[in-house]
Amino acid sequence: MTNFEEKRPHAVLINSISSSRSYQCIVENSKTASPKRGENAFDGFTDFNFETIPDGLTPKDGDGDISQDLHSLGESIITNFHHFFDELLAKLQDSATAGLIPPVTCLVSDCYMPFTVAAAEEHALPVVLFSPSRACYFLACLLSPKMYQNSQLPFKDESDLTNEYLDTKVDWIPGLKNFRLKDLPRLIKTKNPNDLTIRFNTEVADKCLRASGMVFNTSNELESDVMNAFYSMFPSLYTIGPLASFVNQSPQNHLTSLDCNLWKEDTKCLEWLESKEPGSVVYFAWGLANSKKPFLWIIRPDLVIGDRGLIASWCPQEKVLNHPSVGGFLTHCGWNSTTESICAGVPMLCWPFFADQPKMRQKAMELKKKAEVYTRPGGCSYMNLEKVIKEVLLKQNQT
């Protein structure tokens, strides 16, 4: 390594949001998930390069946009991605041998890219898996395949999918309280034990247990029961969330150009919000509520749009939620949306759990304050991020 005075850490990130550490980073992403903003999303970050690997899929007929169904993508992840990723690592190794870049020292991967664990083992690299979903959902996905192994699934009769049987309580998954069969992931509804969703989740479960460490975008306060169950399963487990609060409190102003998604965003909605009274706007990404309040409707450009109100193809959601005009958020409760709303202190109308609405605003503000405490220097999530970097990702570099 002739061009480097010191051995610099070099992390390869796969479908994951990168941190502000001084790594030489290659952000790898499959072409299926290639950002609409492209490589320019990382302009100004000299230690970041953007690479893609083939996805083994073909563009959707018509508009040329690569947005395949999840079944095809899941099958390709299992069968094709390991080979393509190995080719990328080989290319990086050639560049390192030539003295152009530091050698790869660690991997940070989306946990739903299980091939990265096998690649890490082959190359003797530490690998940390990041779960983009809430911890309780991940735990259910992790353990649900066991229901097939224990003959609890598939369902014996088609009527079990519609009758009261789905209200049966699930008491065998540690950390999940008051769960019913209907609350578990949809994979339990298949009658084919060889279904792709079963095979995929079984593969994810196996690889997660072999990873060097697991990272969750949550905190012990948000999901304490589930995290307590996880601590007995994973020797190296770190809660570092909510991530949105890290960016909000970061003293490094250059991070404001980074967003939690790589879609090209329509910012005209921010100008529209400036014209509204504080706390008067209901923000939502689908549907139309008869709230008699001004509303901002966000909908993906490939979905059907409505005919009134402000329509934007894709928005800078964190900026919208932190805008003083926004007073509520009607959400399908994806984990990113949930944590971003918590960090902004915006009450959520959570479909279909309308019964919780009277307590939403007070709870949202309480969770916002706690999230700020967790993610500021010295907070538990901040310290956990430091730990996973030092104890897992940099461990090999220090030996």
**Secondary structure of residue 161 in the 3-state scheme:** helix
User: pLDDT tens, 204-245?
Assistant: 989 999 999 999 998 888 888 889 988 888 888 999 988 877
Q: What is the predicted pLDDT for the residue at 86?
A: 94
pLDDT value for 65: 45
**10-137+199-253+377-398 maps to CATH 3.40.50.2000:** yes
Q: Provide, for the chain, the percentages of residues in helix, strand and coil under a 3-state DSSP scheme, each rounded to the nearest 5.
A: 40, 15, 45
Residue pair 7/102 in contact by the 8 Å Cβ criterion: yes
The pLDDT of residue 177: 80
257-375 shares the fold of 10-137+199-253+377-398 = yes
SS3 150: coil
Contact 360/338 with Cβ under 8 angstroms? Answer: no
Of the candidates 145, 128, 219, the one whose C-alpha atom is nearest the C-alpha of residue 187 is 145
> What pLDDT does residue 253 have?
57
Report, as ranges of residue numbers, the positions in the chain whose pLDDT lies below 50: 1-5, 16-25, 34-35, 61-68, 288-291, 304-308, 352-361
Q: Where are the domains of the chain?
A: 10-137+199-253+377-398, 257-375
What is the reported pLDDT for 167?
85
Q: Whole-angstrom Cα distance, residue 285 to residue 142?
A: 29
Which pLDDT score is estimated for 23?
33
Fold of the 257-375 domain: Rossmann fold (3.40.50)
Please name which of 120, 45, 7 lies closest in space to residue 397, comparing C-alpha atoms: 7
Give me the pLDDT at residue 349, please. Answer: 78
